[in-house]
Structures are given as C-alpha cells and as structure tokens.
Chains A and B, each alone.
Chain A
C-alpha cells in the first residue's frame, strides 16, 4: 500500500461511503463513545489548554532541531547496540528491510500496528519475497484476514467493522464457530496469534516516540501484542517516521500522557514498552538484533513547506473522531492512508496535489479539529491554504469552477454590478433548479427569495434611492 488507497474519484468515494449506512452507524457510535471518554479523562486531568501548549511547544522544538535530535538518537541507539538505518523513501526502506530478511533467512514475521509500514507498503513487499506476515494488532489482524481490507482510522483501524461483521469474517476465514461477544472472538484470535509469535523469525513494529537522550524506542499498545513481537523473535525491526523524536523522558511523559487520552480516552495506554537496544546478556528475553529504520518518505518536503506544523502530529486520531465529515465518510472515503482533517492537511504535501487535491474538499471548515488537536496543529488553516494552492498555484480546479467563481468575484467586486444583479435575482424564485441550486435541493428546500432586498427597505425608510449608489 502507499498513501493513495483508492482508484475511485471523489464523487464515487462519497457515494460508496454515504450509501453504507452500516459503516456510518459504526463510526458515529465509535465517535460518540470515544469522544465522551476523551472529554471525561481530560476533564479529570484539568488544564487541557496548557497541556496542549506544552505538547505543541515540545513537538515544534523537536521539528526546529530535528537534525540535532535525530543525530543524537541515532548515536545513542547505536551505543545501546541497535543498528540504525536511514531511508530516504519507501523503496529504500523496503530494500533495507528485505536485506535483513534475506540475511536472517526469515520466512515469517509478526507485526505490531504501524502506520508508517502501511505507508511504504511493507506487507505487500514482504509477501512478494515469500515471507508470511501476520498482523497482531487485533483490528489490523481482522483487516488482514478479511482479504486485505484497509485501516479506516489510524488508531482504530477496524472502526468500520462492528462485531457482527467481525464474527462473519472470523467464521468465513478462520472457521470460528462462536458468538459475536468480543471477549470470545478475542480469545479465539489470541490463540492463533500466540502460535504466530512463537514461530516468527522477525518482529516488526512502528515507533510512537524515539528518545534522543537514550536511543530508546517507546511503543504504546493496548493489547500487549507489541511486547510479544519485540521479545520473542530473534530479530526486531523498528520502522520509524523521522519526525517521531522526543528529546528526553521528561518530554515523553507529556506526549505519552496526551497520546493515550486523545487517542482512546484512556489515562494511559495499557502497555508502554521502552526498548533500548537488543537483549543484553543479563536480560531474560528480547531480540538478538534490533534494527531501526528511520524513514523520510516525503517528511523533509513537509518540513520545508508552509505546512511544517502538521509534522507535530502524534497520530492520536482525535481530529478524525471529532470531525463531522469523517463521521459520515469514514477513513476509506478520503482515498488516502491518512484521513480526516490530518489527512486533508498532510496528504497533499506527502502524496502531491495532483493525486490528492480532492481530499481537501471533504471538509466544511468547521474548525472542530483545531479544538481537540493535542499538539495544536492549525488543521483548519492548513486545509484552507491547500485549497488556495490548488486553485491558484497548481490550477487543479475545473475551468467551469474557475469561471463561476471569477464571475462571482466580478459581481461582488463592483457595487454597481452587484446592486443590479441582486435586483435581477428578485426574479430568483423562478430560477430553474439547475447547477448549484439543484445540488442544494438534493437534501433541502431552496430558500424563498423576498421581493425586497434589505437595502431597498433601508432606502425606502430613509427616503433615498440606493440604486444610484
């Protein structure tokens, strides 16, 4: 998989998403439930705005000094016995990974949830090499079992599936015979995964945060699968987006506290693993080799763009859970791996405007995302600026649209024309239901146009004729 996840156009994707009432109900339920938990646990913590200031400052500071912290992290990780690789793009990251697999003659890998591996298309590449790769995050596992379904949310990847659908998938693909009680289905999957952990040659994880001070990789999971993937297989490969650095444990503390709350409305993630180098002689478990692949894949481009602040993102997904458009569209409708407001702000830079201009249209500019982002990314402003670039610099809007907006600009840019035109639209109730009015009328009635404009009323009242303005 790469950033682009659909060959359908915007209209087709909207139709597909909006006609899926099952999907929409699942997302709405998940949004309401998790958002409520998030609000409760932030209320309990208190000082949400100050926490956001602090977290935003930390992330901005790291981005401003990323070269320094990456260097410090790499040196300390190597000192701790890890092998650090830098990959400029997806191809390089995959080449490095495949070399490790070949060297280890690895045939089976277990994987903990990671967005950056989705971004570079790791699973497909490894499968092509004949490696069996097992997703071990429950949600990701269900997607994999369901014939390569794709994550629809960065934290809750199977958000679009409810338990009835999950039961069906497990029954069809894995011979599950039980009911749709989540605990029972989880127990069933757990048995399969335990066997995979024990037989895997390589464990693969992402990286929530990399601690520059010590070279440690911090992993936050809620199911404990991350621990198995990093303690049983003899080799562990970490795939890390290059912006994921935290200077010291002190900053990690802040970011960790916010990530769990913003992502799932929990005070802390169930597990946090801090992995500093491979197994030491005195350790009871852990991999013999730990490789860290630090991946750019367009992030430098974002860093040097006007959208640098988007790289502050700690991948909590709260903007998606708060977004009223995401509520009806779901992750898949965005046509990109990163969806919701974050996707609309990040993907056009990461994947290019030409392929992804339309992701910025799935937004009513309500600004709700800005209010919940734990690192204060100006999502609303970023989306608005993308739209400007798309229309004015990249010229990706249609000529019909350009012409219509030019026309509108000319009318409102000239008081005499505006006054004449708005007088003419008094005949508006006769307006045929075409163009924008037709689109408007799909869901709602067209407003009645009064015979008199405000300006006519005001002029009459004052006894002047404003048409001579």
Chain B
C-alpha cells in the first residue's frame, strides 16, 4: 500500500525521530512511503491564534503537496495536525477550486495509530518494551478527532509493557500551541500538574501520540530532573 506521509512540521524539524520511526513502522507493516518535500505546516498555530486568513496560503501548499502523489492514504503521526487537515474544507467553503481539493485530502488523511488499527487492521506490531508506562491521550486526537482506542490497543500489545492509569490522565497538558508562550504561567501551571500526576504513577515511560504535547511534557520532566523517558507511540511501537 502506497502512502503519502505527512510528517508535520514538529516531527520534521524538532522530533525528527518521530518522523523516522513512523516511516520505519509503516514500512515494517508493509506500506510504501512517499514523502513530498513541498509540504510545510498545516497552519494550525495561525488558526488557533485567530489568523485564519494568514493560514490559508500554507493550507493550499499542504493540500497540493499531499495530493500530488495521488496515494490512496495520507498518514501523519499527530492527531492534532490531522484534525486541522480535516477542518480544511470549512476554511475553503464556497471556493470552487479549493473546497473540493480540501475535501479530497480530508477524506484520505489518517492519524497513524488509527490507520494501523482501522485500515491495516493490525493491533500487534511485534514490539517489546519492558517497564511501566503512562499514556497521555492528547485532547485534539482523543476528544475532537475521536481517536481514543487505537493507541491503547497498540500499546496493550507491546510485550513487557504495563500501562499505568494516572490522576487527570485525560486532562490537557497545557500546550495549546501559541497558548504555551502567550499564557506562559497558566500553561506552566497546567503542565506542572500533569507531570506531577505522571510522576506519582511511578512510571518509566510517558507515551503519547502527539509530538507537540510530548515536547511540552518532556520539557517539564527535564526541568524537574525526573527519570521518565518520553516516547512518541511510534517510537514505542518500534522497540524490540
């Protein structure tokens, strides 16, 4: 199966290993990966700050880049960025050229765990990782995109991994895009509480499926000098 890979700007530039492990994982599961280097960012930081108009240029760039290879599926390692792509048709409503393109892209774009479980129909990737892990279900992915079960199904089948529930598990980590720098103290209070709860669960790993939230949580874990390793789910699923 040929897939157009949407790496997302965070995994392209900062969490590079998330992009790499996504590709390796999808290949391991039998997919062929196309990566169109004309892709940039989905524009979500702009939209969330209110600058919808300024975001449209990047949306058009992304639509063209991801549709160019005409793959059946577009897959990304971020529920939040996928949610944004699914919202594209709303931003181009009434635009005779771009609305149909946005709809086409939205219809074939999948969050990676959702894709593995519900398209590839695989729930065991053959991974092995020993220890106790906390899973942070990112807000956009679980609440707004509605992808709740697939990551848990995949993690549940990692040999040696014990999933630990923790207080406030489904609560926001305080990232919120520009929110984290526009409202630094509030965002900081939110991530501090999140990390305190994770630490209280006595885990070796914190696993999530959205790079931005992980960057936030990891930054706090490092600030507090805690011995908890932060992994994107694709990294966990490639452990053997």
Contacts and interface: CB of A to CB of B under 8 A. Distances in A.
Given A408-B45, A445-B223, A469 B37 contact: yes
Interface residues of B, number: 68
Contact of A391 (B50, B61, B180): B50
A406 B41 CA distance: 14
Interface stretch (B124-132, B186-194, B199-207): B186-194
Which residue, of A325, A370, A412, A458, has the highest number of chain B Cβ atoms within 10 A? A412
B66 interface: no
Interface string B199-240: 000000000000000011011101100000000000000000
Contacts of A46: none
Interface in B38-77: 38-41, 43, 45-55, 57-58, 60-61, 65
A241 B192 CA distance: 40
A445 B37 contact: no
A364 B190 contact: yes
Given A384-B48, A444-B219, A324 B171 contact: yes
A415 B185 contact: no
Contacts of B220: 443-445
A418 interface: yes
A366 B143 contact: yes
A328 B188 CA distance: 10
A14 B45 CA distance: 22
A440 B180 contact: yes
Interface in A368-426: 368, 370-371, 380, 384, 387-392, 397, 401-402, 405-406, 408-415, 418-419, 422, 425
Contact of B174 (A324, A391, A414, A449): A324
Given A18-B189, A324-B171, A413-B61, A439 B184 contact: yes
A453 interface: yes
Contacts of A439: 180-182, 184
A171 interface: no
Interface stretch (B6-14, B99-107, B113-121, B150-158): B6-14
B86 interface: no
A18 B185 contact: yes
B139 A368 contact: yes
A388 B47 CA distance: 8
A411 B220 CA distance: 29
Interface of B: 7, 9, 11-17, 19-20, 23, 35, 37-41, 43, 45-55, 57-58, 60-61, 65, 139-140, 143-144, 170-172, 174-177, 179-193, 215-216, 218-220, 222-223
Q: Which 6 A-B pairs have the closest CB atoms?
A: A443-B188, A444-B219, A364-B176, A413-B57, A391-B50, A454-B19
